[in-house]
Amino acid sequence: MRAFFEGIEDLFVNFLFAPYDFFRFMENWWTANVVNWLFVIIGAIAMVYWLMQLRIFDASGEEDHSVTAHSYL
């Protein structure tokens, strides 16, 4: 069983996270954090899209706003 978990460790450390080692040892802070900036930008775009969809559904009047609309209330 130990070999199984060491195999998972080897997969992630030596293969999947290997590109992050390149970014970790860079001298420039901005370039090293390019992946983080991409995630922030994608998250902001997703949030704006989600809020626009909420506004569309709220304006169409499809949602039931009564107290008994949801069972957990």
Write the pLDDT tens digit of every residue in 1-48: 999 999 999 999 999 988 888 888 888 888 888 888 999 999 999 999
The two structure tokens encoding residue 3 = 């070999």
Supply the pTM of this predicted model.
Answer: 0.60
Question: Can you read off the two tokens belonging to residue 50?
Answer: 């989600």
The secondary structure element, H or E, covering residue 35 is helix 34-60
